[in-house]
Amino acid sequence: MASLAVALAAVAGGAEAQTSVSADITTDTTWCNAANPSPIILENPIFVKGGATLTILPGCIVRGQPRTAAVVPGSTVGTPGALIVTQTGRVIANGAATAPIIFTTAAVDNDNDAVADDVAPADGFADAWTPGDTFLDDTPTTAPLAPLNGNGDPNVSLWGGLVILGNAPNNVDDPSFAMKGQTTVEGLTIPGFPIADATHGGLLPHDSSGSYQFISVRHAGDEIGAGNELNGVTLGSVGDGTIFRNIEVYCNFDDGIEWFGGTVDGRNLHVAFAGDDTFDLDQGYTGVNQFLFGIMPFFNANSGAAFGSASGDKGGEWDGDDFLEATGVCILADGTCRPWSNPAMYNITIIGSTPDAGQHFTPASPASANRGIQMRNGFAGELLNSIVVNTGTAQGFDVDTAVAAACPGYDAVDNVATCTLQVLASTFDDGAALPATELAALACGDADVRTPTVLSNNFVNSAAFAGLAQEDTTFDPQGNASGKLDSSLRPSKINPRPVTAGATAGAVAGAPVTTTYRGAFDRLLPTLWTDGWTALSMAGLL
């Protein structure tokens, strides 16, 4: 059974109980009840395994301790707090719009300078919380921590992240495993942690890793393995028996949400300010997602250094399989590289790093233009009913033209030629003009189940598209005087709804939820599905 210790600590506003967790969850456990009160402090990576179910109640605050020692290959000493749901564990974490489950950092700020303390000892690593300390992110439900700290450095990598590992198929051929489709997940130290605790993949497409709803994951992305950072949420071969809806990642060092194979479906997924890719998928992922909203970083660190790993490299990086790409080895005896990554991605809105006009705030070091959706080798899925804006001098839609594999049908350009890579009823605006390969992909259509039109009813920098209602996402990324977010940072809220129906009508049918519009939000509704439970909404900025 997990080692749980309830400590009574003096904090601002009075005495508050916390639950410190330092051992794996191996029997059924509930967090944020009377026995294990909120906040939960993850002292180190915590694995849910051995048939155990961890239940996390609505409104729970889970805090991961920051890293306390340098990364050493093969060692787990000093690793930050993180939650890893293994193939043999389940989590039931069903928050609510009025009571989300928030994962954030346990880093401290006892001197109230909006910078994580590094005092005891001053060793280059943020101090771990102990009873009586003041949390750096001390008001996550009312005034969330800003993207940059008081020194202008990124508030990322302040703990590990959320990792979910399942038994669904992928397309990996890892020679260290006897069964094709099994591998260890990116971001965990091997050797170091038990291989079984980091393994994902299997033969169960309908496998369930539990239920995850109304969850916000903030300020994560530290390394647990050498040179291998965790994403905000990592999904390794998670099956479609898992419920994955209303999930946010805010201010992560690397990718926001990444799918490594699996079949899990998602809905209402929001990422704001991922250091690398907003939505990343590979290793034969085949799920269906609808209503995804990404806001890319418009800022670097004040010094000019990257925010996170790449200041928001792409809105989407969608490819097939890391192992095949590296080796050119075909997984099937017939010489093909299938299964490709073949998801259906409906109703996405991506707002890039380059406001087209009316920028409210110019950061000390603006981010460079970042690409929108890039489809890479091994991807043969669909982008449908979506909107990508403000990529500036970069393309809103990009096809990787690299030749990477010996087997036919793996390279993205092959899949453009055969129209197995498809973009339908989508709008790209305020970005670079698209070259021939991308235009060919936009013109494919889908003659089998849909009526093709010119460019498959896609629009690129079209005068018919009046833009989003308020697509300037800028504000002071250091927040207010306390280093927090509040509504005073902008004259009006970010509004990701389209202004008019022009160039946003003509949505393709077949989505889990029937829509007649493009993008993540219905312009005719008075509310957004992000309302109430996401960081920018709680701050009054969205």
Please give the backbone phi and psi of residue 276, each rounded to the nearest 5 degrees, phi first: -115, -115
In order of 157, 179, 230, 260, 271, the CA distances from 184 in angstroms are 21, 12, 13, 10, 25
Half-sphere exposure of 364 (CA within 13 A, CB side): 15
What is the per-residue pLDDT across 418-452, written as a single tens digit (0 to 9) for each?
888 889 889 999 999 999 999 988 888 654 433 33
Residue 457 has a pLDDT of 78
Residue 160: which residues within 8 A CB-CB, separation 6 or more? 42, 45, 64, 79, 80, 81, 82, 83, 220, 221, 222, 224, 230
Give the per-residue pLDDT at 331: 53
**Domain map (residue ranges) of the chain:** 1-99+101-140+157-252
Residue among 170, 164, 79, 161 nearest 125 (CA):
79
Inter-CA distances, 288 with 14, 44, 163, 238, 488, Å = 46, 33, 20, 13, 38
CA 452 to CA 446: how far, in whole Å?
6
Q: What is the 3-state secondary structure (H, E, C) of 69-111?
A: CCCCCCCCCCCCCEEEECCCCEEEEECECCECEEEEECCECCC
Q: What is the pLDDT of residue 504?
A: 60
- As a whole number of angstroms, the distance between CA 437 and CA 31 comes to 51
Q: How many residues does the chain have?
A: 542
Q: How far is CA 270 from CA 207, 219, 242, 339, in A?
A: 24, 14, 18, 27
Residue 415: in which H helix or E strand, if any? Answer: helix 412-417
Q: Which residues in the chain come in under a pLDDT of 70?
A: 1-15, 225-228, 321-339, 404-408, 445-456, 502-506
In sign, the C-alpha dihedral spanning 144, 149, 155, 159 is negative
Within 10 Å of residue 53's Cβ, how many Cβ atoms? Answer: 15
* Whether the Cβ atoms of residue 363 and residue 306 lie closer than 8 Å to each other: no
